[in-house]
Every structure is written in structure tokens, then in C-alpha cells.
Amino acid sequence: MSISFNVPPCVGTEIEYVADAINKHKICGDGEYTKKCNAWIEEKTGTPKALLTTSCTHATEMAALLADIQPGDEVIMPSYTFVSTADAFVLRGAKVVFVDIRPDTMNIDENKIEAAITKKTKAIVPVHYAGVSCEMDTIMDIARRHNLAVIEDAAQGIMSTYKGKALGTIGDYGCYSFHETKNYSMGEGGAILIKSPDMAERAEIIREKGTNRAKFFRGQIDKYTWVDAGSSYLPSELNAAYLYAQLQVADKIYDNRMAAWNKYYELLSPLADSGKIDLPVVPEGCVHNAHMFYIKAKDIEERTRFISYMKEAGIGCVFHYIPLHSAPAGRKYGRFHGEDIYTTKESERLVRLPMFYGITEEQVEFICDRVKAFYS
Ligand SMILES: *Cc1c(COP(=O)(O)O)cnc(C)c1O
């Protein structure tokens, strides 16, 4: 048996929808499929406004523009995250202030944020790692008291909730990813969720090269024109059609991934009980989406041996992220506030096991057998 780390999701109806978009001669952005995806996200999450974008990176860039991030502003985020979280703000000239993570969820430690706030702080960017929510009540309370924007990097968090609220709808802006490594995909793509109706119109303008084209197409104005600075953040209909096929069967994808996640958890619990590995933690109040299954080895040396052992067995296991504050750009554009107690240490222990739509119970059993063999 050979098991890849990831297989891009495909449910079978994608080709039909993509062909339909081609046959209707509507392949640029904001056609029928894009609108269906936007509406699906709005209905599913309860957000007043969702707009498909070309990526989660671009959704975050839009959020940085909407939050009016200026050169010299400071933005607080974890260092244990993907580069896009920081890039979107660095492009606006902001300084990134990294705060340590919690070892249980790998999310930003909500109790260390307030000490990192200065007069220059403009926003907090919680990253919901593995689709498990950050402690949003505390984060929103801090943001309210200090008048800061909250931009949720919910790239991994679609279909997850925190105290009943969909991730991406709690802060001012939420950013989803539909990259091929995510639960629902369009190859490359994402979405921005916008809480304030006032900002929704500006978001449409920024996404359409700074024009009020969206208003024009709704018949609200009779000519469209250049009204603001913007860019092109709308994806092609071909990509939206691919995604819509998956959103229609979102629960089926969710159930399959959750069954695999629960199987992993059940089969690997004995190893965790005997202290050999650590397993993911899902705090009270959080419902996750089985985006990822990871284990934590003792240290980086054991993890390296584990990954090669699994590779020999035909199983793709990967690690991420190199903490941003230790990367060359992280040193240039950011600083770590406080002590790095867990970020580096825990990032060196974490390894992800195969997880994708269509993974079977037999495959999960096979993988867990190899994990157990490694630790015996
Ligand atoms: C995948 C991911 C992104 C980037 O998503 P793209 O759609 O590829 O731009 C950003 N942040 C996190 C935490 C991610 O996992």
C-alpha cells in the first residue's frame, strides 16, 4: 500500500459544472457559480457578506486594505502559521508582532496578546490551526477594549465553530482557503467574510480593481467607474464551478474526514496514554472540521526518524511550519513579543498524517499500525 499525504478533493460532479460554465460562455469572475458559492457560504456561516477570492492570501490582503493598515502599524499574530498570514500585512508596510502559542491547540495564546499591544497596534490576527478555534471570547474582548480590528485566518476553519459561531464570522473579517490542500477546493482560491455591511461595498470595489462594477451589474448605477484603489481578487468561474460541486456535498466530505479523524484518535490513543506521543486537543466549545490529523513526537530528532520510517512504509507524512520569527523575512518585518516558550519547541515535534477526502478506514488502520510499530 502507498498512501499520499494529500489527494485534492474531487466528488465527481466538478467536470459537469465546469463544462456548464464553458458552454454558457461565462468563464470570467462573478458569474452564476461564484454567486452560488458566495450564497452557500453566507447561508452556511450566517455571515452578512461572503466574496470568493483568488486565494486566502488575497482574502487576507483585502482584509488588510479594508482595515486600513498603514506603514508603521503593528499587527499581532502567532509565529506558528503560514507565511500568508504575515505577508498580507507586510505588503501594507505593517510590522508583525509575534506572540507565543498554546501547546495544546497550537493557537495563539490569548493570555499573551494584551502585553504585546502598543500605541501602534491596529489588529489581531488569530489563526485557527487545524480548524480548531482560538479562544475568541477573550480575543474579541481585548480587541474591543483596545479598539483593534480582528481578522481571522480561518484558512483551515471552514465548517468549524466556536460556541456555535462559524469560524470566520466572529471577527471583523474572516478568510477561508480553497487551495487543493484544504477540505473544499477550487485548486487555488479563497473567500473573505465581512461582518459590517458598510465594509461590504468597499470590499466589492477593492476586489474589482477599485471600480463600482458590482453595483453597476445590480442595476444600482448606470455607469461604472474607478472610485478607489483596488486590485483583481475575483476568481474565474471555472474554479468557482469546481468548488460549487464540493460545497453541494459539503457534509459528505465532512463526514468522511471526521470518520478518519476519529479513527486515528481512537487507534492512537493508547500511544498517547502511555506517554509516547501527544494527540490534538479540541477545547470545550470548539467543534472542528477534521482538517488535519497530527501527532507530536518527543523532539525534532524523533520526528525526523518517524517521517523517514513512514516514507519507507509508503506513507507520506509532513511537518510545518518553520516559525515565522526565525525566517529571514520574519526577522526583517517582525519581532517576537515575550518569550518563545512553545512556538519553536512544539513546532519541531508536530507531524501530520495523511488526511484527505476519500481516505478509507483500512488506510487509516494501516497507517496507525505503522505508527505503533515505530513506537514499539
Ligand atoms: C492554506 C493557508 C493559507 C493560504 O491559503 P491560500 O488559499 O493558499 O492563499 C493561509 N493561512 C493558513 C493558516 C493556511 O493554512
Question: Each residue of 25-39: pLDDT tens digit?
Answer: 999 999 999 999 999
Distance 375 CA to ligand 1 centre (A): 32
- Could you give the CA distance from residue 140 to residue 272 in angstroms, rounded to a whole number? 33
Residue 220: other Cβ atoms inside 10 A:
10
Q: Does residue 190 line the site of ligand 1, with CB under 6 A?
A: yes
Report pLDDT for 357: 98
Kindly indicate the confidence band of residue 345, based on its pLDDT and cuts at 50, 70 and 90. very high
Nearest atom, ligand 1, residue 127 CA: 13
Report pLDDT for 191: 99
Pairwise pLDDT comparison (197 vs 159), residue with the higher score:
159
DSSP-derived pairing of the beta strands 74-78 and 121-124: parallel
Contacts of 54 (CB under 8 A, 6+ apart): 188, 189, 190, 232, 233, 234, 235
The CA-based dihedral angle spanning residues 224, 227, 229, 233, taken in that order and rounded to the nearest 10 degrees: -30
Mean pLDDT of 256-275: 98
Mean pLDDT, the chain, rounded, equals 97
Closest CA to 312 of 14, 1, 54, 66: 1
**Is the pLDDT at 148 greater than 90, yes or no?**
yes
- Could you give the CA distance from residue 11 to residue 97 in angstroms, rounded to a whole number? 41
Report pLDDT for 97: 98
**Is the pLDDT at 53 greater than 90, yes or no?**
yes
Instruction: Give the 3-state secondary structure of residue 175.
Output: strand
Report pLDDT for 336: 98
Closest CA to 60 of 82, 41, 39: 82
- Could you give the CA distance from residue 104 to residue 281 in angstroms, rounded to a whole number? 6
**Is the pLDDT at 252 greater than 90, yes or no?**
yes
What is the CATH number assigned to the segment(s) 250-375? 3.90.1150.10
Q: Does residue 239 line the site of ligand 1, with CB under 6 A?
A: no
Instruction: State which CATH number among 2.30.42.10, 3.40.50.300, 3.40.640.10, 3.50.50.60 fits the domain covering 14-247.
Output: 3.40.640.10
**Is the pLDDT at 254 greater than 90, yes or no?**
yes
Question: What grid cell was written down for 254?
Answer: 465532512
- Cα distances (Å, whole numbers) of residue 156 to 208, 335, 376: 25, 25, 33
What is the arrangement of strands in the sheet containing 165-166, beginning at the earlier edge strand?
A: 165-166, 161-162, 286-287
Q: Are 210 and 263 in contact (CB under 8 A)?
A: no
Instruction: Give the 3-state secondary structure of residue 98.
Output: strand
Report pLDDT for 225: 94
Nearest atom, ligand 1, residue 58 CA: 9
- Could you give the CA distance from residue 248 to residue 294 in angstroms, rounded to a whole number? 28
- Residue showing cell 486515528: 264
Report pLDDT for 1: 82
Distance 223 CA to ligand 1 centre (A): 36
Closest CA to 91 of 123, 132, 60, 45: 60
The residue from 36, 182, 195, 263 that is catalytic is 182
Distance 59 CA to ligand 1 centre (A): 10
- Active site includes 298? no
Mutate which of 56, 125, 239 for ligand 1 pocket (most atoms within 8 A of beta carbon): 56
Mean pLDDT of 63-74: 98
Distance 25 CA to ligand 1 centre (A): 31
Sign of the dihedral through C-alpha 328, 330, 332, 337: negative
Closest residue by Cα to atom 2, ligand 1, is 155
Query: Which residues face 49 on adjacent strands?
Result: 194
Q: Quick one: 87 exposed, middle or buried, by C-beta within 10 A (0-12, 13-18, 19+)? A: middle
- Could you give the CA distance from residue 196 to residue 49 in angstroms, rounded to a whole number? 8
**Is the pLDDT at 258 greater than 90, yes or no?**
yes
Closest residue by Cα to atom 14, ligand 1, is 155
Q: Does residue 57 line the site of ligand 1, with CB under 6 A?
A: yes
Domain boundaries, the chain: 14-247, 250-375
Distance 86 CA to ligand 1 centre (A): 11
Q: Does residue 82 line the site of ligand 1, with CB under 6 A?
A: yes
Nearest atom, ligand 1, residue 57 CA: 9
